[in-house]
Structure formats: structure tokens, C-alpha cells
Amino acid sequence: MTRQPTVLAVLLEDKSLQRYGSFRVAYEKAARSLDRERGGSAPSRAQFHRWLTGDLRGLPHPEHCRVLEHLLAGYSAAQLFRPCSDGIPAAAASTGPVPQVARGLLAHAGMADVAAVFASRSEFAASAELGGLFDGASCIRAAGLSLNLICQQVPDQQLRRLLRDGAQLTCLFLDPGGEAIKVREREEEHPPGYLASFTSLNIQVMSRLRERLPEDVRDRLRLAVYDETIRFNIVLVDDRACVVQPYLPKARGIDSPTLLIRRNGTRSGLYPIFEQVYDAMAERSRQI
């Protein structure tokens, strides 16, 4: 079956960057403009071909997305890797002249670290490569209700490999025996114990994983519970990426929108805000 070219492919062709050699030069230049010291390596020729043809299971590594969004300003990574079946979507920013009155506002406007937005958790799970998000991570911190994103969607083998390679993984669960989870069950109109049973199961899964790790590795997997009104599911990956999923009134968690945030190196974005939220919850949590 022939795949449709991605929006990325059409935009690169419009800029005469559809050939790998030309693209690699432009990509590495964009990477250096974002980080003069580290820069960034272009994808392999085979990976570049998959980007153009849409032969992907999700979005590429966040660092690749960051460079592409800089190279093709106005387009999110989610837009770039969609099939180009209905024409090129409009860029987020207009290329026309900006009225003088608006310039002062636009000087301070932006995406505040937000790299992509998904209408639901299921859409995020279908579009994002979770393995790629965690690959090479040295510190993963997660807080939420049952933490299905980690406990059910990332294979145990990958988690063991990360921990054996030196990564620290901390999981904060909503206490299955606490009052806050009962409130959430009533809000989602579940029978008593419904969410608590899922959370207890995931705690058991992670506890069993920890028990099977070598003794000198077990301390790298930290499990804790907290008992307070749940507002967000937060996953922080090193100091570079963050996944945030709010809890909406009377809506199941899976129906909530998802933000993919990539830290921009300043204090003005959303990453440090949600890191502070996580840190406050961690301070009030109880180790298990």
C-alpha cells in the first residue's frame, strides 16, 4: 500500500530540501542555532525517508521534533508528521505584516514550552513513541492516579534496562486507601473501589518489578503514595521533556487532553511550573 507523503515532505520540497544532503545541512544549522555548543545530528538517510513517507508509529524523538519545529517555524511536530491529504495546514504564525499595536503583545507571546497538544490520552498514546521519550533518560519522575502510561504502556524489559543503566524512576500514586481516590471515583461515577483496584494493581506491578531487580539497582525505583485532590498526571523526563494530563470534572482520565512540553532553558515556560507541582506532591508523599 502506498503511503501519503507527510506535511513535512511537502514543506521540505517547497524549500528545495527534499534531498537528504540538502536537508542534513539545513537540519544541523537549525540545531546549532538552538544550541551552539551541542548542536544536533541529523537523522539517518533511512530515518529521513520514513519521515517523508509517514512510515512511523508515532512522533520522532523530542529533540528531533524541536529542531524541525525551529526549521519550519509555525508548524508543530504533530502537524508535520500528518499525511498531507488535504493540503498543507496553515502555519501557526502569519507571515504578513503585524500591526504596530500587536507587536508588543506578540513579543511576549509563544507556546510556553508546549511542543504538541493531543485531544485525549488515547490520541497521545497512538501518536507518541513512549519508548523514544524515555530512551537514554537518567531521571524519570511521575505523579498521577494509577500511572498507566508507565505501568501499562512501557514494557517491563525497557524499564529494567533503564534502571540497570543507571536511571532513577520515581512513581507517585494516588493512595488507593485514601480519601482523595474515593472522591475521584464518585466524580467519575464509578462504583466504590473501582479506581483503587486499578491503582493497587499497578503498585503491585511496580513492586514486583523492583523485587526482581538486582539488589544494587532496587533503590533506583522509588514508589510512593499521596492523598490529596488530583489535578494532573505529570511525567518529567530528565530536565528536557514533560507530559501533562489534567483531570477534568466527570470525565475519565483517558478522555482528558495531553500536553507534550519540551523545556526551552528559561524560567518562562510551563516545564518549571509543572516541575514545582510535582516537587510539592513528592514532599507530601509517603514511601512504600
Q: Which of 86-100, 179-193, 235-249 has the weakest average pLDDT?
A: 86-100
This prediction's pTM = 0.63
Those residues with Cβ within 8 angstroms of residue 217's Cβ, 6 or more apart along the chain or in another chain? 163, 164
Q: Cα 204 to chain center, whole Å? A: 25
Kindly state the average pLDDT of the residues 183-203. Answer: 94
Residues 39 and 149 both lie in one domain: no
Residues 242 and 148 both lie in one domain: yes
Residues 271 and 138 both lie in one domain: yes
- Does 93 fall in a domain? no
Residues 29 and 154 both lie in one domain: no
Looking at the structure of the chain, the number of domains it has is 2
Q: Which one has a higher pLDDT value, 108 or 81?
A: 81
Those residues with Cβ within 8 angstroms of residue 165's Cβ, 6 or more apart along the chain or in another chain? none
Q: Which one has a higher pLDDT value, 1 or 88?
A: 88
d(CA 53, CA 8): 9
Residues 151 and 259 both lie in one domain: yes
- Does 97 fall in a domain? no
Residues 142 and 242 both lie in one domain: yes
Q: pLDDT tens digits for 237-267?
A: 988 889 999 988 877 767 788 888 888 766 6
Domain that holds residue 13: 1-84
d(CA 215, CA 234): 28
Instruction: Name the average pLDDT for the chain.
Output: 83
Residues 250 and 137 both lie in one domain: yes
| CATH code of residue 262 | 3.30.870.10
pLDDT band at 228 (very low <50, low <70, confident <90, very high): very high
- Give the closest residue to 81 by CA, choosing from 150, 8, 20, 143: 8
Q: pLDDT tens digits for 14-39?
A: 888 889 888 998 898 888 877 765 56
State phi, psi for 253 to the nearest 5 degrees: -55, -35
Residues 171 and 241 both lie in one domain: yes
- Does 210 fall in a domain? yes
Residues 130 and 256 both lie in one domain: yes
Q: pLDDT tens digits for 105-150?
A: 333 445 778 888 888 877 777 666 555 678 788 999 999 999 988 8
d(CA 7, CA 288): 47
User: Which percentage of the chain shows pLDDT scores above 70?
Assistant: 84
The predicted structure's pLDDT at residue 102: 37
- Does 264 fall in a domain? yes
